[in-house]
Amino acid sequence: MLDRQSLKASLLPQPLATAFTGDDGAPDEALTPAAVLFPIVRHPALATVLLTQRTAHLRDHAGQISFPGGRVEAGDRSPLDTALRETEEEIGLPRERIDVLGFLPDYRTGTGFRVTPVVALVEPPFDLQPDPFEVAEVFEVPLGFLLDPANHQQHELHYRGALRRYYAMPWGEYFIWGATAGMIRSLSERLNLQGAAPCGIVTV
């Protein structure tokens, strides 16, 4: 069982410039700052993670499964502010419904972003209003499934002339991979679940 306190204790209290993970082959410099919300929904019997599927016409990561979020804008005071603003813009979830717990190490993507993941709890019920330009669908996946290392598949692809490795966590018709899967894996590692028995998480 994973409770709120142990989840919070596994996270960074603030983003750290020296703490990061990333895609295989991600660049080290000239990265665009961005932030996402890692929203864990506290249903009475089961904790889930809220994810989005991006629309097919977007310039970056079109059609992929992602956390709500985006690049830092000039008026944002912090990565937290970026994540909360982008979440409200993309799916209509107001920041008043979000209980921020902490941060995962920044994630460097192969497409040139340095993403700060903000982990938070969300208390239902809530009424989402996805932006149809950016979001094709919003759905939830059990937290226990995503954190269980047995569900972390390793794949390979050739990208820009090199063989790259990445994690994937297929869930029904959804193929969760790349940076989103990498950030989920990061939380699993910080909770020391690697090599452990399947995670029996029902609430946080």
10-residue stretch averages of pLDDT, the chain, 204 residues long: 87 87 70 96 94 76 83 95 97 95 93 94 93 92 96 76 79 94 95 59 51
**Residue 39, token pair as written in the block:** 């929203």
What percentage of the chain exceeds 90 in pLDDT?
Answer: 67
Residues 6+ apart with CB under 8 A from 204: 2, 3, 4, 7, 40, 42, 47, 121, 143
Q: What pLDDT sits at residue 54?
A: 84
pTM over 0.85: yes
3-class state of residue 182 by DSSP = helix
Q: What pLDDT sits at residue 201?
A: 46
**What does the alpha-carbon distance between residue 155 and residue 178 come to, in Å, rounded to a whole number?**
10
Give kind and range of the element (H or E) at residue 47. strand 47-54
3-class state of residue 64 by DSSP = coil
CB 145 within 8 A of CB 40: no
Q: What pLDDT sits at residue 64?
A: 85
Q: What pLDDT sits at residue 158?
A: 56
Q: Provide the CATH topology of domain 4-142.
A: Nucleoside Triphosphate Pyrophosphohydrolase (3.90.79)
Encode pLDDT of 44-103 as tens digits: 889 999 999 988 665 655 578 999 999 999 999 999 999 999 999 999 999 999 999 999
Cis peptide before 142 (omega within 30 of 0): no
Give 25: exposed, middle or buried? Use CB within 10 Å, 0-12, 13-18, 19+. middle
